[in-house]
């Protein structure tokens, strides 16, 4: 849940989740639609789908235990080097490091070398003896990530209070490497056209051409600012939405109609039974203000 998502956002979701699914077995018997419903609003729904697939495999094929090698762990859905190493350390207390942006920055500053010229996996391998001196590898994995987030921060690292400042080359050097880059933000304009009817229903379709929404049930969407051919649709609202480093500038239009294209289905705006992505929910809320 924490991937690309802040801790404060995750806490209520996590608490609800572990209240309902108390162990691997109960989660492995869960239905995807129920799990997605509990995940609703957190985004990145592939995490939820992979979690369910992984738990089913663990229960069925591994006696509800996490495998003990990186190769085996990486065979599980959605698990790559980063999550695999984090799990090896956190669950099995193995000497491994989950190399994320924070950890890369810590290593790169300590050596005062640009990230792009460091082979981090090799660096960890070669320095295993120095890095894992205590048998507290689970704590070490977590501490290293926290250290990068709280002390050796992207901007204004707290070098004066840092326990590594006696050996850190970045701190000592008069020619410090650059470690902070501004995120490139992309702005995209979209027009969203919603058919609605007097029964407080909206027409939804799975067929739209927008890559990041292609699996969602969405009203008709058009990229760009041009609305030629749709001049008789009513403008409802302009609003912004952010997805990672993508900023969406959205103009929402609507039209009352009883006729809808064959690929559309009516959906009640008051219905809240199934999983609806938060982007779509936002549109529902805007459209509901018309009734
Ligand atoms: S001394 Fe500064 S730059 Fe070096 S590891 Fe500590 S916080 Fe990071």
Segments in the chain forming alpha helices (H): 7-20, 24-28, 32-39, 46-61, 70-73, 81-92, 101-111, 120-126, 128-131, 137-150, 169-172, 278-288
At 278, is the pLDDT very low, low, confident or very high (cuts 50, 70, 90)? confident
40-83, pLDDT tens digit by residue?
888 888 899 999 999 999 999 999 999 999 999 999 999 999 99
Q: Give the mean pLDDT of the chain.
A: 88
What residues does 194 pair with on adjacent strands? Answer: 254
22-46, pLDDT tens digit by residue?
999 999 999 998 998 899 888 888 8
Q: Annotate 246-277 with b (16+ C-beta within 10 A) or e (fewer).
A: eebebbbbbeeeeebeeebeebebeeeeebbb
Indicate the helix (H) or strand (E) that contains 192. strand 186-197
Confirm if 29 and 42 have CB atoms less than 8 A apart: no
Centre of ligand 1 to C-alpha 172, Å, is 9
For the CA of 109, the closest atom of ligand 1 is 3
Give mean pLDDT, residues 5-27: 93
pLDDT surpasses 50 at 287: yes
What residues does 201 pair with on adjacent strands? Answer: 197, 268
Centre of ligand 1 to C-alpha 147, Å, is 9
DSSP state of 185: P
Centre of ligand 1 to C-alpha 110, Å, is 7
pLDDT surpasses 70 at 215: no
Indicate whether residue 197 lines ligand 1 (CB < 6 A). Answer: no
Confirm if 74 and 54 have CB atoms less than 8 A apart: no
Nearest CA to ligand 1 atom 2: 159
Nearest CA to ligand 1 atom 4: 168
Confirm if 95 and 128 have CB atoms less than 8 A apart: yes
For the CA of 157, the closest atom of ligand 1 is 7
Residue with tokens 């000497």: 95
Q: What is the pLDDT of residue 166?
A: 95
Q: Retrieve residue 32's tokens.
A: 């995807």
DSSP string, 194-244: EEEETTTEEEEBS----GGGTTS-B-EEEESS--TT-TTSEEEEEEEEEET
Centre of ligand 1 to C-alpha 179, Å, is 12
The second-level CATH assignment, the architecture, of 186-288 is Alpha-Beta Complex (3.90)
Domain ranges of the chain: 186-288
Q: What is the pLDDT of residue 213?
A: 47
């Amino acid at each position: 849940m924490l991937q690309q998502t802040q801790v404060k956002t995750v806490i209520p979701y996590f608490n609800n989740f572990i209240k309902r699914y108390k162990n691997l077995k109960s989660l492995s018997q869960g239905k995807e639609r129920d799990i997605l419903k509990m995940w609703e609003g957190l985004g990145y729904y592939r995490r939820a789908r992979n979690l369910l697939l992984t738990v089913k495999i663990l229960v069925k094929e591994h006696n509800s235990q996490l495998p003990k090698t990186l190769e085996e762990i990486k065979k599980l859905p959605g698990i790559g080097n980063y999550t695999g190493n984090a799990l090896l350390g956190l669950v099995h207390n193995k000497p491994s490091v989950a190399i994320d942006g924070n950890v890369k920055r810590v290593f790169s500053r300590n050596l005062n070398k640009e990230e792009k010229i460091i082979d981090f996996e090799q660096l960890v391998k070669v320095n295993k003896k120095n890095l894992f001196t205590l048998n507290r590898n689970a704590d070490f994995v977590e501490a290293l990530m926290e250290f990068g987030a709280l002390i050796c921060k992207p901007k204004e690292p707290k070098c004066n209070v840092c326990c590594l400042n006696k050996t850190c080359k970045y701190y000592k050097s008069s020619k410090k490497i650059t470690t902070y880059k501004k995120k490139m933000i992309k702005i995209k304009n979209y027009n969203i056209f919603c058919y609605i009817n007097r029964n407080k229903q909206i027409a939804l379709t799975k067929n739209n051409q927008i890559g990041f929404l292609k699996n969602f049930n969405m009203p008709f969407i058009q990229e760009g600012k041009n609305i030629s051919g749709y001049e008789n649709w009513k403008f409802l609202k302009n609003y912004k939405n952010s997805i990672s480093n993508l900023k969406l500038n959205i103009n929402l239009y609507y039209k009352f109609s009883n006729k809808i294209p064959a690929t559309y289905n009516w959906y009640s705006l008051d219905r809240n039974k199934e999983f609806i992505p938060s982007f779509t929910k936002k549109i529902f809320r805007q459209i509901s203000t018309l009734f």
